[in-house]
Structure formats: C-alpha cells, structure tokens
A and B are shown apart, each in its own frame.
Chain A
C-alpha cells in the first residue's frame, strides 16, 4: 500500500526571510510588503505576516510597518522577497529529495513516498521526527503527516505538528477535526452554509449523505464531503530534482565593499551546501549573478578543482574572482547557482596504503586552489611539444589501479639528472669564445663558463605564428659549467638573436 509523507512549511514567506536572518528566530518578527499603487509607485509597507511572538505582542496584519514598530518596541521588520520564498520552496523540495528520489510539490508543501524508509527508521513517528530535524538544518520549521492518501496527509498537517495516520483509519482520524482543515482557506460561503447546517467537525460532515450535499453545495461541496470521508482522488505526481540549485537574496541597501558582500555570500553558500547535502551531493562550482544598482547583472563563474561540501574554498575563490575584477556598480542583489556533483567514492585496498578520503581530498584541492589559484593545482603533464619549458596541469585524481611500473632497485647506484626551470626563461648576455659561450651575465647570475657542451639545435612549430610575427622556434641549446659551480642550461634564440637561461641541473 502506498504511504505518503506530507511536509508542510507554514508561513513559508516568513520562514524564508528568517533563513537569512536566523538570529531573529524566537523574537517578534513581522514581514512587510509595499503595495503597488495605480500610478506604479510603491505604497507604504504594511505587515503581511507575523511570527507567533509578534502576534502575542499584539502586532496585527494590515497595519503599517511604522505602526507595528511603535506598538511593539522589539519588533524586527523584514521585507518580503519573492527570491527568498522561491529559495525556501526549493529548499523544501531538497528536503524531500533527502528522503525519496521523487517528490510532488505544492506551494509550501512537498509529498513523497516513504515505502522503503521503514527499513531505515523503526517507526513512522521516528521518520517524521527525522524529517523535522533535517528541515531545521535547512532553516525551516515544518509539520509532517504520514497517511495513505495525499489529501488526508495534507489535512493532517493543518491539524497537528506531527501526525501518523495508520492505514485504513483516515476517516476515524479526521472525524474529530474542525471543518477548517478541509481546505486552506475554506470558502467563506461554504463555511457559512456548514455553520447553518450545525456542522462543526469533519466527522459530522462525513456522516451526511453525499448526494444531498452535492445537491445543496454543488461540486465543491461534494469534493469536501469526499475529503471528510477520507476518500482521495488526488494523484501523486512525482517530479525529478532540478539540475541546478539556486539561492538568492535581495539586499536592503546597495553594497560597495567586498567584506559585507562576502558576509552575504557566506550565508547564501551555507544554505546552498545544506540543500546539496540533503541530496548527498557536493558543489562542483557556482555561478555568481550580481544584480547591480544600474539595473544590470554581473555574472561570474567560479569553478572548483573538485566537488566539495566545504564552504570556505568556495568563498575564497569567489573573493579572489571579485577582487581580481570588482563589479562596476554597487550590488543590490545576489543570486548564486550551484552546480551539483557527486562526490567520488573509492574502494579501499587491503594491500595498498590508504590515501586521503575522496571528499577530504576534494575539499583540500579546492582550498589549495583558493590559495594559489585553480590553474596552479593538479597533476603535472608533459606537453606534446619539443619546447622544453612547456608544461601543463591535469585534474588530480586518486589512482584506482596499482602502479604499473616496477619498483626502482634500492641498490641502483645512480638516477636521472634533474633540471630546475626558470619560468619564464631569463634573458641573459653571453660572451662568446671560440668554443661557444665563455661568460654569461643575467639578473641573478654572472659567471665565467669553464666548460660548454653543445650546441644542440631544436626547432619546430613552424605552423604557429607568435605575437611578434615569427613562426615556430629555432634554438641552439648549451650545457655549461659555470665558475659559480652550477651547471646551467641555456639557449640561443636564433630568430630573435637572444640568449636565455633555461635553468640549471640540480
């Protein structure tokens, strides 16, 4: 039998605003919105939603923000934001995906099938408790009901914080509940009719004959009667998770400096990573969409070397990007789109040393990339070119197979000679003798050359044209022993007639 969980976030717009100001939870808070007048201008902001604490303090809906603040000195006024509400709705969806692969969404509510979750949780009550705990981590307070049908579960969330309706007992559960749970909100005319009939509870309505109700109240009445009897014809319509996860914030005032923007970004990224964590995903990169005061957008891509669930490297990379190229105008809104990715898993080998855990390695690489730049972290790669100084970087991955080459012999008396490169090669002056270079002088090195071996000519890439109009390269390389004791490798650029110090053997 199908068992469905309904997760409902009451006053979602208020909860959405509190997600970016979590320190205000438990205090009197009112959500304000400014109505748009006929001439297009914004009117006075008025209170559209209040927290339980504010309601207890006497704040009422519809009063202006100034009146509400005057009546309740400790009241915090938060502007309603469609972006916040959308993000909270999406977070609610991610909460569903944390427990099931398919969910059905409604405004402020998600449904999902709990079929196999019974193997993970001892009771349905424990599951409901786990859902609420996970929602709190996303900054949402939710009501949870588990029932056989969508409509029953939906009605149960209107009546209780947590409700478990055993299979086949929907009518018995609904019977004592007030009629207001049938719809949100219950149509005023229908409610008045029910009052005239002397009906107060769902059970009283369910006891009446369906045909008589339909005759007097029409299709709407018939639907409510079916709901009251626990009969459901509302299908479960599963939806796939979205490809990208978004979080945004509309700022109360324009930001000019990087520090306050970083503070805002931290909150947004924290919420994003919590939502990705719900789906057991990590962040492979973000798209930063900054809304500027000039009514334009500044869009940045921040790529990570490896997927991570650590907010620090994402923030560092975003800061680096913004420092490198500051926005042209003050920022009035921030939208961050995260690219979800699976964290690589690895099977440990009984006979091989244990390497870093894949997720920790990913976070480490991301942190390193934030420190030195993503272009400076990875596995080195010798490029397919005869240019000796050419070097590339590939993404670093933990090896999945043993090393193919045999172990070097510990009794080997010698090893390959290494060279250290100057990047870029240092231009030097060379004094030539009858047998080649006789002395060299550069920024850091001035020495007499005692032995010069060469030249070794290297040329190629004639099909490429450089910035200076030359094609390819043609060089004469020399290995020289200098009077300072070092073994240098230098070359003469035959096209530009210049000498360069490539590095030294070491």
Chain B
C-alpha cells in the first residue's frame, strides 16, 4: 500500500510547496492537436469553451428549468445551420417550439426534427435515434434534448455515441437537467442562477433573463476567466432577450 501512496504523496508535496506553479495536471497538458470547434454564436459561451463546443465529440449542456438551456441549444443549432452543416434535433421531451427557434435564427427547413416525446421509453428511443443519425454520417451536429430528465443510460451507450461521433465527425450535444454522460463527455456546461428582468411599461413586462455559465468539463486549455474568479466555475454571464410572440 505504501508503494502506491508514495507517488501521490510526492505530488501533494510538490503542489503544496513553492513548486506548485510548475506542476500541471495531465488533463491540462496541451499535447492534443487543436480541436475543431462548433461555435454557438454566443460570444460569452464560445470564449468560455475555447471557441465553442468540441466538434466530433460529445458535449453536455445542463441546467434546471428556465436556466437557459433551450436558448443556448437554439443558438447552437442556428450557428451550425448558418455554417451549412446538416443538423438534427432528437426531441425526447417533445418540447421544441419552432416559433422561438425561428426567432433565434434557426432555419426550420434545414433542421431534421425527431419527436420521441410521448413514447414509453423515450430516453432510450432518443439515444437509438441519435445513434442512427450519427451512423448515417454527414451530420455536423446532432442535439439530443432530454428536457427535464436526466437519463440513466449505461456508460457503454454514451461510449458508443462518442466513438460514432468521432468516427463520423459529428458533434453531439446532450441537453438534460443534470450531467449524465460523465467522463465520456468532452465538454460540459452547467447553467444556473437564472434571473429574469421585468420592465415596467404600464405593468410588468418580461424582457430578458440572465444566466450564469459554469464550464464543468472542457478539452484543451481554456482562456482565463474574465472576472478574475478561479476554479472550474467560471461565473461568466450572458443575456438572452425576449423577442416572443408579439413579434410573430
């Protein structure tokens, strides 16, 4: 047992002493070639992720109700469509709203929408549908929206998706309430602390809301946090404006 602990103790000693600045965790080593990125079109989020979601990899977007996941999803879909990529959305929750997606810039005719909502085992069907889509090849982005659920799929299922995504060059974005793919995901973002803004115009009027981004997992070196916070929770902000049904 002592022989096992020895290297750990040595590392701890190094990190606790003046040599701490010279010790770089292996996960932060910049030994990988620069990955292609799928920009979301949201500058704050793209900077936080080092350019966008990692291409040809699996990424997770989490948050509770009204945390802003769907707005980020729509922005990501819109940006991918503008890049001429073929895009699919597997809607396990059946909650996709085409009008607000169109307002966010999603060209609906260029989005392949698969509604799995209402099925008995909708999470499993959604995963199978995503697997079929990725295996077809040629898709730039496949998003799986689990909505309020945090699907409990076996790690093998996520590994299968990740390997297929790497092989076909497809970005996979999993939207769920909590993290579910674990270490299989190349990037994970958690949205939290959403705050709505109402303006008074003869009564309260919903105008926008703010949410905060916590990058919980990422590939490659990330830019330093703009507000000086340390740690993985980068506490970056971005704002979403309401351009709702009155504009339709």
Residues of A participating in the B interface, judged by any CB pair closer than 8 Å: 352-357, 360-361, 363-365, 367-368, 371-372, 376-382, 386, 388, 391, 393-394, 396-399, 402-403, 405-423, 435, 451-454, 456, 458, 477, 479, 481, 484-487, 503-506
Indicate which residue in B64, B67, B86, B94 contacts A423 across the interface (CB closer than 8 Å): B94
Q: How many contacts A-B (CB < 8 Å)? A: 226
Q: B245 CB to closest chain A CB, in angstroms?
A: 6
- In Å, the complex CA distance between A456 and B101 comes to 21
25 of the cross-chain contacts (CB-CB < 8 Å) are A356-B138, A361-B136, A371-B129, A379-B108, A379-B112, A382-B98, A393-B113, A399-B84, A405-B107, A408-B82, A410-B41, A413-B43, A415-B75, A416-B71, A416-B100, A419-B70, A453-B203, A477-B245, A484-B65, A485-B66, A487-B66, A487-B196, A487-B206, A503-B95, A505-B206
Q: Are A372 and B114 in touch, CB under 8 angstroms? A: yes
Known: A353-B84, A379-B108, A403-B81. 20 other contacts (CB 8 A): A353-B86, A356-B86, A357-B137, A368-B129, A380-B98, A388-B99, A397-B109, A405-B82, A408-B82, A409-B41, A410-B41, A416-B104, A416-B240, A419-B97, A451-B198, A453-B205, A481-B196, A503-B97, A505-B206, A506-B67
Expressed in whole angstroms, the Cα–Cα distance for A371 and B121 within the complex equals 12
- In the bound complex, residues from chain B placing their C-beta under 8 Å from that of A413 are 43-44, 238-239
Q: Give the residues from 114 to 156 in chain B that come closer than 8 angstroms, CB to CB, to chain A.
A: 114-117, 119, 125, 128-129, 132-133, 135-140, 147
Closest CB in chain A relative to B112 CB, distance in Å: 5
Complex contacts, B100 vs chain A, CB 8 Å: 416-419
B95 and A421 within 8 A (CB):
yes
- Min CB distance B130 to A, Å, is 10
B178: Cβ under 8 A from any A Cβ: no
Chain B interface, >50% SS class: mixed
Question: Contacts of B112 on A, CB cut-off 8 Å?
Answer: 365, 377-379, 396
- Please state if B242 and A417 are interface contacts (CB–CB under 8 Å): yes
Taking Cβ atoms with an 8 Å cutoff, the residues of B that contact A are 39, 41-44, 46, 64-71, 73-75, 78-79, 81-86, 93-105, 107-117, 119, 125, 128-129, 132-133, 135-140, 147, 194, 196, 198, 203-206, 208-209, 238-246, 248
**What residues on B are CB-neighbors of A410 within 8 Å?**
39, 41, 43, 46
Contact among B75, B116, B209, B240 for A376, CB-based, below 8 A? B116
Contacts of B101 in A (CB 8 A): 380, 418
Question: Could you tell me if A414 and B198 are in contact, using CB atoms closer than 8 angstroms?
Answer: no
Could you tell me the distance between the alpha carbons of A497 and B135 in the complex, rounded to whole angstroms? 49
| CA–CA, A413 and B68, complex, Å | 14
A227–B210 Cα gap in the complex (Å)?
A: 92
Contact between chains at A364 and B133 (CB < 8 Å): yes
What residues of B have a CB within 8 angstroms of the CB of A452 in the complex?
A: 204
Q: Within 8 Å CB of B248, what residues of A?
A: 386
Q: Residue on A with the closest CB to B87?
A: A355
